Structure 1
Amino acid sequence: MAPSADRQGLWGRPTSTLDWCEDNYVVSFYVAEFWNTVSNLIMILPPIYGAVQTYWDGLEFRYICSFLGLLAVGVGSWCFHMTLLYEMQLLDELPMIYSTCVFVYCLYECFKQENSINFFTIALLLVFSVTVTLVYLQWKEPVFHQVMYGALVACLVLRSIFIVTWCCSGVFILYLCSTCRVYPWLRPLCYTSLGIFMLGFLLWNIDNIFCNSLRASREVLPSGVGVLTQFHAWWHIFTGLGSYLHILLSLQIRSTYLKHRPKVRFLCGVWPTLHIEPQRMN
């Protein structure tokens, strides 16, 4: 979709295959889509904390990679929306594929021995990532990327619901049968992360479908209120939070299986974090 006002800024005319509903260079000469850019902070700051905390807790490297993958998406999306250059678009979209592959690996390998590596699964996800990259570089069709990303997300959603339902039904092995009672955050983490992500997806679609109406409303609304209609920025916020909560869910499932004591705590009383106590469950 083309911007409603052809404003010029530091980065020149957009070369990306996508230009979102936020008018370009309205807030700043240096940032093409200001609100779509700064909303990526939710995918930059919390993953840094999560990666450091995971390292301090001595957990497996794959979960550090999960947080760093989300960080890479946030940085890439920041660069894309700040410049609207094609190269930065790739820096946003391709890490979405790569990081979600890491999420898939972690969730599908959560019931294995500690520090085990499944080379077959890694090879499969690597082939998928390389194939998507090569096809997308030749066939610059955003819908292709969106479908491939959606397929990975669907794998995560189905696996998450299956694990939580299976575990909490009492079918699982003895020390996990009471997981929902011992760790009451397991089910809420699953469905909260899913619900928040789906809300972001809904706002993303509204932003695309009703862009003209949203732009018209911003012309008459006070600027402070009009900002709230930047639904692509809300997509960043909700999907960033949903992805972060998914990593916590994956971490909690894994640490529970390894008989650690995961504890959900709230940083500054607001932001959820997962801490692993050094001792193991009896």
Structure 2
Amino acid sequence: MAETISSSWGPVTSTTECCEQNYVYSSYIAEFYNTISNIPTIILAFVGLINALRQRFEKRFNVLHVSNMALAIGSMLYHATLQSVQQQSDETPMVWEMLLYVYILHSPDWHYRSTMPIFLFFYGAAFAAMHSVFQMAIGFKVHYIILCLLCTPRMYKYYIYTEDVLAKWLAKLYVITLVLGSLFWLGDRLFCKEISRWPINPQGHAFWHLFTGFKSYFGNTFLMFCRAQQHGWSPKVALLMGVLPYVKIEKPKSH
């Protein structure tokens, strides 16, 4: 989109731009709404992290919530600057996060427990190195889609084997927010020329960020519930301040 204020970051070097005018409110923020719309993701991930630490969930969930925050911060840097270097800070953590989901979803059935995280770690490091050198626009998208497809059947399996009604609703909210966010993302990508002529831009990509934040939170909370069930921790879905769902557990007392 055309610039309206001089840029503090220089010319746009990222390979992708969204349907939002650049530098409308500040010379330091290229896409204002796409930048600030990542803040709810950081807040939700922080809430999830505090719950995981307070109830002493496995460290994998601490890392998962931190990765959500890191991804949102990387996205803010990218949309604020529209520089190719910062674009890597958005796209590479997306792949790393999906590798973490692959581990969490499939680790209960993995016979060689040390092999899987080592392989995923080196795979993620290799992808980051290649992406920084070759800026694989198509390769990034293909990797991300494949990793999502690897997670989908296992997520569905967890859903059909979950009997708790509120936990099932966490999975449903995950799907609902994912679908809504995807529709806003597609609309922003496919109809940008038409949207640019509207008196008010609906900021579809910013809504994608907003729904993605809730999608990640609902998905993480559902996985925490399922993992607590596997450990026999009697998980229940409670509401924080009567609104935000979280998992409450009761670990058996050690004798």
Q: TM-score, normalised by structure 2?
A: 0.91
- Residues 37-65 of structure 1: CA deviation (Å, up to 9, x unaligned): 01101221111121121111011100101
Equivalent of 1:123 in 89, 110, 118: 118
- Whether 2:234 is the aligned partner of 1:261: answer yes
Describe the shift of the 1:121–1:252 C-alpha distance in structure 2 as closer, same or farther (beyond 3 A).
Answer: same
Aligned counterparts, 1:111-150, within 5 A: 118-150=113-145
Gaps of 5+ in 1: 168-178
Counterpart of 1:185 in 2: which secondary structure?
helix
- Residue pairs, 1:204-243, within 5 angstroms: 204-217=185-198, 220-221=199-200, 226=201, 229-243=202-216
Q: Secondary structure at the match of 2:46?
A: helix
Among 32, 35, 51, which residue is 1:34 paired with? 32
**Once superposed, what is the RMSD of the aligned Cα atoms?**
2.0
2:86, 2:183 → 1: CA distance? Answer: 25
TM-score (norm 1): 0.83
Question: 2: distance between equivalents of 1:191 and 1:111?
Answer: 24
Equivalent residue runs for 1:88-127 within 5 Å = 88-110=86-108, 118-127=113-122
Report which stretch shifted further, 79-88 or 129-138: 129-138
Distance 1:19 1:251 in 2: 35
> Counterparts of 1:35-114 in structure 2 under 5 Å?
35-110=33-108
Q: Which residue of 1 aligns with 2:169?
A: 188
Which string of whole-angstrom CA distances, capped at 9 and with x for unpartnered residues, describes residues 108-136 of structure 1? 12468xxx982121133224313322332
Task: Structure 2: state its 5+ residue gaps.
Answer: none
1:155-174 correspondence runs (5 A): 155-165=150-160, 167=161
Q: Distance in 1 between matches of 2:179 and 2:127?
A: 24
Between the two proteins, the alignment pairs up a number of residues equal to 253
Q: Is residue 99–residue 147 contact of structure 2 (8 Å, CA) maintained in 1?
A: yes
Percent identity of the aligned residues? 28
Deviations 1:50-95 (A, max 9, x none): 1121111011100101101101101111111111122211111111
Q: CA deviation at 1:6?
A: 5.7
Q: Mark the CA change 1:25 to 1:154 in structure 2 (over 3 Å): closer, same or farther.
A: same
In the alignment, what sits opposite 2:244? 271
Structure 2 counterpart of 1:91, which letter? Answer: S
CA contact (8 A) 1:107 1:156 kept: yes
Deviation at 1:144, TM superposition (A): 1.8
Aligned residue for 2:21, secondary structure, equals coil
Contact 1:110/1:250 (<8 A) preserved: no
